[in-house]
Structure 1
Amino acid sequence: MRVGRMDEALVGLIGWEQEGCPPTVRCYTSMILGYCKLGRVDEAKGLVGRAEDKDAVMYTILIDALCRRGEVDEVEKILEGSEFNGWKPNDVTYNVYINGLCKLGEVDRAFRQLDVMRENGFLPTLETLHILFASLCRDQSDERLWEAKALLDRSNELDWDVNAYFYCTLMSKFCDKGMNKPVVSLLTCMFKRGIEPDTCTYTVVLRSLCKKKYLRKAKCIFHSMGSEADIVAYNTLLLGFNRANEHNEVYILFMNMVEDKVSPNGFTFCVLMDSLCRENKYPEAVDCFIQSIRNGFNRNLISRPIWWLVKEGKVKELLNLFEEMFGRGFVLNDFVFDPLIRAFCRKGLCRSVQSDIFSLIFDKMLSTR
């Protein structure tokens, strides 16, 4: 049925009724769906009232439309009067209503419907639990995250076969809030329940521990990954050690990475260059940049050593970097000029008394082109 010709269809339906040939439930349901798609919910309600035989499908369509308009009190009335009107909600009806409540931010009301659903003899389906869990995780409050954890804890009771994805999702939310203890607690719970953490789960735990500078614990977790450790896990731990100024650990971890045949990416080289520059190992940082170019990475990574050299006022080393690049066949154009100008501006040298340094460096660069 084309929703654009609903009024014509309604005339035909009324004609059948007047001729003593009442339309079927399926016919009414198609009409109700059409009106709901057009946003003409009141007319859809009227059709539900006209139908002699009613079923859960037509009411579920109407409930979905009412939820989209925020009319949840009207939905409650429909559900309360279901027995009187000769129909019974099914699991799809409850799922649609629970989903509508969650989208409206009525999470507590949605959980009450979960209890009503069970009281009426319906076990929550996977879809029901996924809807509730996702809604709790979307909420920004700490309270909702703890409720999501409580829901996971009840998964056996609810016959909910959860996997690493659900734990990883919740752990990531706790991690974003800087809440380390529940992240580790959830990992422990996974082991107790025989759920194998995946690489994503481990990485979230590493990120949480590194944020709190629990680097020894993070290192233990990392080593427990074994061959599962990928570039994201390595980079997470590398960044943690770099921020804690444990540069020797950065170099050891990078060497382990090479030995394990895990290919570094651009982020890896950025962290490594930062670590070398923090230790004033500028020639090594330049060598690191050259190595990244050999590995096929974007030459724009040069912005890392340039920023550090400008920040620390290492004019000689900066000029040596450009000489080195020129000697290796690089054309010193915008990929060097752009990050250099940005670095000088961030340092505030463009308008300072040190602007002669700025001019000196650019004159030297232009002479090597």
Structure 2
Amino acid sequence: MSALPLSGVKVIDLTRILSGPFCSMILGDLGADVIKIEAPGGDSVRKQGHMVEGLSWYFAGFNRNKRSMELNLRAPEGIAVLEHLLADADILTENFRPGTLEKMGLTEAHLEQINPDLIVVSVNGYGSTGPYADRPAFDFIAQAMSGYMATNGTPETGPLRTAPPITDLVAGLYAALGAVAALRGREQGGPAQRVEASMMMSMMSMLAYLSSNALATGRDPVPTGNDHPIASPYGLFRASDGDIAVAPSTEVIVRRFLAELGLEHLLSDPRFETNALRLNNRVALNALIDAALADGTQDDWIARLNRAGVPCGRVQSLTEALTDPQVAAQDMVLRVPHPGRGSVGMTGFPIKFSQTPLGVRHPTPELGAQGPEILRATGYSEAQIATLIARGVLGNGNEPVG
């Protein structure tokens, strides 16, 4: 089997919580050797969420394919170890507040002196410049400030957050993409660049036609809940035994949808002849569609509409989605053995490679478990490693640092 796309790439990962670890997990999934540097006590997510045998499934789901080193970076010896690791690294990932690396002595000039080929990837809340650069960031706040939250919900509910920490995840995804692009640029003879992705700006880039319309008109979109802001009919409709999500995105598909329901004549009704008219008369149109769908079950209509080329599906609970046969066929739920802790369920790999399929090469690492072996492989003697452990600078996977 051929090597994974990022095989041979060394990543020193200073990130914690979610946005940064999601970025470094993607790089690890793609084949990079990710060395996760954790402060004494470890990433705080190690103690959050559902725990089995002392292992957080939340932490496990975002830190596979990494090796862990517990290192006290408040000690000069810890910074010296980090600098040693950076000397032959390809990428440094971090999600501190802007300026934190500099306070640690890792200025841009110093990092270039250590390793002129090092790519520094930063994930932060608002970007490293501008009036909000120093503010603490959290997904909920980034959802609110990006304009995203205001587009969710309805006029009655007011703004609503999205349940997953979407701004963390989108920023992490962009950071990983930026890291890969920077690697490619370096391979082509370009400079080793700094890459930055922020939660607020990443989320703003995802607002699609909502941003386009706001920029064109100067007006905010009206939150429409499950109805589409610029297409009708489109949304959740009620069959005899529950809701169906239907997405007729073009006039051709609208006609197919209405024809299947026996409602094609509505396209000659002055209220519904065009999409603009249908948007203005959405409530009346939706009521007619619900009345037609009430004659059949979810399964019946979903089968009929899909055969007719109308995108639709049932609203599934998360546990239903995780056990869906299509999800199983795509290997999107994994059970990963963790020695001494049983197995952990986690989502799989959404990117599929035909010749180098992705997999879990390393289960979620125990805190600091690989620290000594990592230093051993980079030239540290057993005596030097023992001294770092004795001084509370390095963890060995058994005793806490500090």
Query: TM-score, normalised to structure 2's length?
Result: 0.25
Between structures 1 and 2, the one with greater strand share? 2
Between structures 1 and 2, the one with greater helix share? 1
The structure whose RCO (Cα within 8 Å, separation 6+) is larger is 2
Q: From the CA coordinates, give the structure whose radius of gyration is larger.
A: 1
